[in-house]
């Protein structure tokens, strides 16, 4: 239990530094990483190495995604594409039903795409829709991000659930069908209905994300051009994911599609397309477009530092072996395999912050139980994924992205984002247990 106490103490230290001493989240995360690593018995040089590794691996996998994503969002917003799409959605669904529109968008974008990619693509839509309807930002944003998060945790062909399904030898088609049945109530309760209770939270997003000069109505692109430009990375990634199931592994076509379907390449291609559809074809010069892209990257500099520091904290926890200790302890409990794998994934998620790491570690621990207990491997995938979403907090990069983009303090981020993640995790488990009564 000592490692768990140290982790809890580290989280309390982080909160103290940020809330009481008003220290930057970046410095607070670094100090906490050092303190927790040393307290867990790691040599100081090893702690520093873990911090360097955590920052490097986190930003190495995210910096192009975040950079290209914010460029794409800036181009579509400045070119009027976001204005056109949000106006069309509001017209079709009506202001009263706009939450259902954003849920559908989040669901469609989230299935083939990592959460961080989908987040940076969809945030401009959230801001634009909230501005045009006058609805609270959390009211509009939380349902979309809940939808995005649930698909990240539950549904193949998303890489996380797909990898877990492969470990369990689950049928991906059945997993997707069961997953959609479980995902719908989780999104509705955690995203739509829960957002109704958060009227007291007042976001204050950075000005660069909200102050977009909208062009005149006659100068903005059409709906289908805007939609194609915005969803092009989703289409490329989905195409690669779909063809991987039908084409042989040595197919040159699959190799080419896999290349353009890589999230980094898909976003890069989409940025080039947006340079034309949202810039050059709208009468802008190349210099104007490039200046806009440079401005967009400068706007997320501090967010990149904070996300990197969050990755350092996570890496210290991983390298210290805390996740293994928690998993070993949880595996000794006498519970249903579905509840057990959810509990193990949830415990690792809370301790380490990474949903993907939590899901894969939990899957490795309970794998022998599937054959022994004849539990549905498809439901085990969903239970694992649901547990991996449990209570995102200060050691999760997603927590800091939500906090910084929406301009919230830590308290309000926990009361909104963290509780939303907790709700979708618990509802996911309940849904799996209900399905277990009808699945042989």
Cβ proximity of 50 and 37 under 8 Å: yes
How many other CB atoms sit within 10 Å of the CB of residue 171? 16
pLDDT for the residue 157: 66
Walk along the chain (440 residues) in steps of 10 and give the mean pLDDT of each run.
79 82 86 92 94 88 80 83 81 90 84 74 85 90 94 78 83 86 96 94 81 66 88 83 82 90 88 93 90 84 81 83 68 79 88 79 74 85 95 89 93 96 97 90
pLDDT for the residue 143: 96
Q: DSSP string spanning 229-277?
A: HHHHHHHHHHHHHHHTTTS-TT-HHHHHHHHHHSHHHHHHHHHHHHHHH
Half-sphere exposure of residue 351, counting CA atoms within 13 Å on the CB side? 30
Cis omega (within 30 of 0) for bond into 157: yes
pLDDT digits (tens, 9 = 90+) for 316-363: 888 888 767 766 666 676 778 899 889 988 988 887 787 877 887 778
| Burial class for 361, CB neighbours closer than 10 Å (0-12, 13-18, 19+) | buried
pLDDT for the residue 1: 59
Q: What are the contacts of 22-26 at 24+ separation with CB within 8 A?
A: 25/306, 25/309, 25/400, 25/403, 26/302, 26/305, 26/306, 26/309
Residue 382's φ and ψ, nearest 5 degrees, are -70, -40
In terms of Cα–Cα distance, which of 437, 429, 433 is closest to 189? 429
In terms of Cα–Cα distance, which of 370, 393, 373 is closest to 381? 370
CA 366 to chain centre: 25
- What are the structure tokens assigned to 365, written together? 């621990």
Rounded Cα distance between 158 and 149, Å, is 11
């Amino acid at each position: 239990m000592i490692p768990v106490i140290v982790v809890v103490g580290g989280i309390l230290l982080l909160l103290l530094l940020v809330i009481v001493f008003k220290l930057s989240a970046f410095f607070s995360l670094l100090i906490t990483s050092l303190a927790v690593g040393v307290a867990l018995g790691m040599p100081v040089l090893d702690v520093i190495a873990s911090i360097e590794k955590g920052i490097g691996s986190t930003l190495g996998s995210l910096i192009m995604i975040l950079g290209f994503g914010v460029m794409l969002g800036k181009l579509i917003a400045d070119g009027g594409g976001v204005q056109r799409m949000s106006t069309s959605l509001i017209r079709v669904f009506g202001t009263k039903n706009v939450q259902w529109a954003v849920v559908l968008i989040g669901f469609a974008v989230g299935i083939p795409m990592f959460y961080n990619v989908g987040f940076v693509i969809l945030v401009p839509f959230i801001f634009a829709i909230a501005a045009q309807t006058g609805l609270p930002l959390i009211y509009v944003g939380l349902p979309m991000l809940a939808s995005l998060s649930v698909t990240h945790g539950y549904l193949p062909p998303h890489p996380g659930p797909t990898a877990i399904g492969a470990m369990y030898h689950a049928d991906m088609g059945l997993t997707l069908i069961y997953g959609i049945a479980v995902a719908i109530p989780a999104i509705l309760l955690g995203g739509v209905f829960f957002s109704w209770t958060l009227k007291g939270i007042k976001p204050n997003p950075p000005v660069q994300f909200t102050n977009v000069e909208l062009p005149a109505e006659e100068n903005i692109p059409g709906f289908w051009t805007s939609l194609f430009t915005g969803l092009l990375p989703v289409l490329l990634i989905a195409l690669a994911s779909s063809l991987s199931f039908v084409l042989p592994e040595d197919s040159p076509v699959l190799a080419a599609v896999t290349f353009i379907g890589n999230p980094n390449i898909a976003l890069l291609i989409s940025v080039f397309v947006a340079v034309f559809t949202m810039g050059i074809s709208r009468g802008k010069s190349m210099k104007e477009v490039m200046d806009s892209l440079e401005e967009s990257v400068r706007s997320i500099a501090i967010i990149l530092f904070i996300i990197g520091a969050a990755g350092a904290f996570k890496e210290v926890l991983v390298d210290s072996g805390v996740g293994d200790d928690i998993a070993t302890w949880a595996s000794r409990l006498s519970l249903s395999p579905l509840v057990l794998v959810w509990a193990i994934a949830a415990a690792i998620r809370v301790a380490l912050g990474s949903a993907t790491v939590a899901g894969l570690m939990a899957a490795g621990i309970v794998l022998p139980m599937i054959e022994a207990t004849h539990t549905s491997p498809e439901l085990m995938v969903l239970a694992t994924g649901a547990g991996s979403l449990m209570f995102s907090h200060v050691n999760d990069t997603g927590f800091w992205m939500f906090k910084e983009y929406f301009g919230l303090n830590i308290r309000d981020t926990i009361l909104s984002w963290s509780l939303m993640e907790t709700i979708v995790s618990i509802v996911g488990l309940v849904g799996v247990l209900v399905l277990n009564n009808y699945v042989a």
